[in-house]
Amino acid sequence: MTASRETLHAIRAICAVGIVVAHVFPSLFWFTGGHTWRVQTMYLLGGASILVVRPLKATLKYVSLRIYGYMILWTAVYWVAISLMPSDVKNNLMKDFSVIELISVQLLKSNSHAIWPLLGMWFLIPFGVALILASMAWRRFGGGGIIIAGLMAVCGGWLLGSSDPAPFWVVRLVGQIAIAFGYMLLGAALLSSERAVNFLENGVVAATSLLIYTWLGTTYTDGGMIISWLVRRGNIAPQVIQSIAIFPAVFWFASRLSCSQVVVFVGKKSKDVMTHHLMPVVFFNLILVYFGVSTFRDVKLSAFYNANVLWPVYLLLGLSVPVLGSFYGGKLKKVCREWVEGAVRSPIQRSSFKSRGGASPADDVVRST
C-alpha cells in the first residue's frame, strides 16, 4: 500500500467531523448532502484493510469482535442505560423493542434508529460483511481490473436501494453490502497503486473533483444524493460519479493534515465518533430541559436544539466526548486486563511455591544471605 497510515487516519478524521457537522447543519448540502461522501469514503478506506494480507480466519475474527461485537455490546449498553431513565426520557430516545430484538433483527434491518443516540452506527452492518467478501475477492482477483467489478457492485447497490420491493429491508441490506463491497474494491485498487496515489495528491485534481461533486449535487441529484436506505429516485450514474468524485479532494486535504497529531488521533477514534457523537447531545439537551431552557415538546433529545446559536457546543461535545471516552476507556481496559492477569498469575505462583516446599522468593533471598 502506497498511501501513508497518517493520511488514512486523517481521511477518517475528516469523515468523522463531517458526520457531526452534517447532523448539526443538515442544510449545508455541499458538505453534508445526505451522506453524499462521508460513509462512501469510509467504505473506500476499507480497501486499505483488505490490502493487509491476513488469513481469512483473522479477518472473520476482526469482523466478529471489532465490528459486530462492538455493535451488539453498545446496543445492549444503551438499552440498559435508557431503560433506567424516566419514562418521558425513555420514550423520547428509544422505540419499544426488547434488547434481544435490538441486537438481532433490528440490527439486520439497519434499524439503529430504534435507539436514536445510536443512529450513526447503521453503516457498520454492511461494512463488516463487505470487508469479508472484498478480502476474498481481492485475494483471488486482485489488480487494476477489479475496478470494473467494483463499479458494477456500486451501481447494483444503488439500483437495489432505489427500489421498494417486499420485504424491503432485505433488499436494502443487500444493496448496502453491494455498495460497501464495490467501494472497498475501488479503494483497494486506488490505494495499492503509486500512480493513483500521486494522482490523488495533485491539487489541480482535488479542485476539479470538488467542482464536479458540487455540480452534480446541484444539477442532477436535487441538492445531493442519499445513501441506499433512503434512496427513492433515479439518477444512479450521477450519484455514483459524485460519491467517487469527492475522494481526490478529501485525499488531498487529508495528506496536508496528516502531519497534525491531533487530526491523526481523531482519525484513530473515528468509529467511536461516528457511533457515539449523539449521546453527549442527549445529555446536554437533558440539562436544557432540567433548567427550563427547553421542553420535551420543543426538542427531540437526540436532535440539536437551537443549533444556529448552540452549534459550537454541539460540535465540541460530539467530537470531544467520544474521542476522550475512547482514549480513557482504552486506558481503563488496559488496567483491568493487567489486574485480571495478575489475579490469575498469583494462584499459579503460590502453587509453584508450595511445590518447592512452601518457600517464597523472599525466603530464597534470606537463605542466600
Residue 321 lies in a domain: no
Question: What CA–CA distance (Å, rounded) separates 116 from 299?
Answer: 13
CB-based burial, 343-357: b 16+ in 10 Å, e otherwise? eeeeeeeeeeeeeee
Q: CB-based contacts of 25: which residues, under 8 Å, 6+ apart?
A: 31, 32, 307, 311
With H, G, I as helix, E, B as strand and everything else as coil, classify residue 144: coil
DSSP 47-79: HHHHHS---HHHHHHHIIIIIIIHHHHHHHHHH
Instruction: Report pLDDT for 173.
Output: 78
**DSSP strand E in 111-156: where?**
none
Residue 338 lies in a domain: no
Residue 340 lies in a domain: no
Nearest to 289 by CA among 306, 276, 273: 306
Instruction: Report pLDDT for 143.
Output: 66
Give the number of other Cβ atoms within 10 Å of residue 246's Cβ.
25
Question: What CA–CA distance (Å, rounded) separates 308 from 286?
Answer: 19
CA atoms within 13 A on the CB side of 72: 13
Residue identified by cell 486535504 is: 253
The whole domain housing 43 covers: 5-311
Residue 244 lies in a domain: yes
Residue 346 lies in a domain: no
Q: How many domains does the chain have?
A: 1
pTM for the model stands at 0.78
Residue 69 lies in a domain: yes
Residue 362 lies in a domain: no
Segments of the chain scoring below 50 in pLDDT:
29-30, 32-34, 166, 222-233, 360-369
Residue 325 lies in a domain: no
Question: What CA–CA distance (Å, rounded) separates 357 from 354?
Answer: 5
